[in-house]
Amino acid sequence: MLELNILASGSSGNAAIVRDGGTGRCVLIDCGICKRDFFARCEELGVDPRAIEATLVTHVHSDHTSGLGVVMRGLAKEGCTPPLYAHPLVREASPKIREVEPLVEQRELHPGKPVHIAGMCVLPFATSHDVASSVGFRFEVEGDALGYATDTGFVTPEAHEALGDVRILAIESNHDVIMLREGPYPYVLQQRILSDEGHLSNAQCCTEVELLLHPGLEHVVAMHISEHNNTFGLPVRELQKVLDANNHPAQVHAGLPRTPVAVR
């Protein structure tokens, strides 16, 4: 069975490890945290970072890439040099990816084209964010499936299809619209977040989750929760209302910025 180990989620940094619970083989999604936090949180979750067989990059923003250099160098000292998968436009735009080019093999990601990594089939799908070629991922192994979608202003048709029938659904629930409108962010930034190339609100997340409900869904994880325009409890409560209204037994979790979370 697949496991989602969230080392950090939010605008201060993002990193998650998908692990096959049967084999222990791992894939890292993004790395926007420092080396100290990366290794400490892996240890706290009981994840061996030396089992990471690939790193996937969703997009170029620094909260998803800032730790790539220091963490890849730290892994290399442990004898682990996982190849890095990114869209060519993401690689071209990211100095952090170019920093590790001499250290790890570079491989391409393209939406709609699955890759086979660590015994998993990984399908990248297009998201809608204000950078080139942002993606989310569907992971499959032996009939189990996990979906991961953050940093998107709306759920693209490709994302909706890829997130169907997963057992673990990790989906952005970034902001409460009223809190954002009444909060400290300047108007231009508010408009960016609310746009089709921004971030999913709690309401948008709930709407999508309701559409994706199916009997095999066991876990819903609210991701990339804003510390200024949301609370960590609010999206959990809103998602729980959706599940209760549909008599669905799935568990709801929140990805946190500084406390690791395991969903298994």
pLDDT of residue 6: 98
**How do the domains of the chain map onto residue ranges?**
2-258
Q: What is the pLDDT of residues 195-226, one digit of tens each?
A: 999 999 999 999 999 999 999 999 999 999 99
Both structure tokens of 109: 């990601």
pLDDT of residue 118: 98
What does the angle CA 158 – CA 82 – CA 127 come to, to the nearest 5 degrees? Answer: 15
pLDDT of residue 90: 97
Q: Any bridge partners for residue 106, and if so which? A: 84
Beta-carbon contacts of residue 164 (< 8 Å; ≥ 6 apart): 212, 214
Q: Residue ranges of the chain with pLDDT lower than 70?
A: none
pTM above 0.75, yes or no: yes
Query: Is CATH 3.60.15.10 the classification given to domain 2-258?
Result: yes
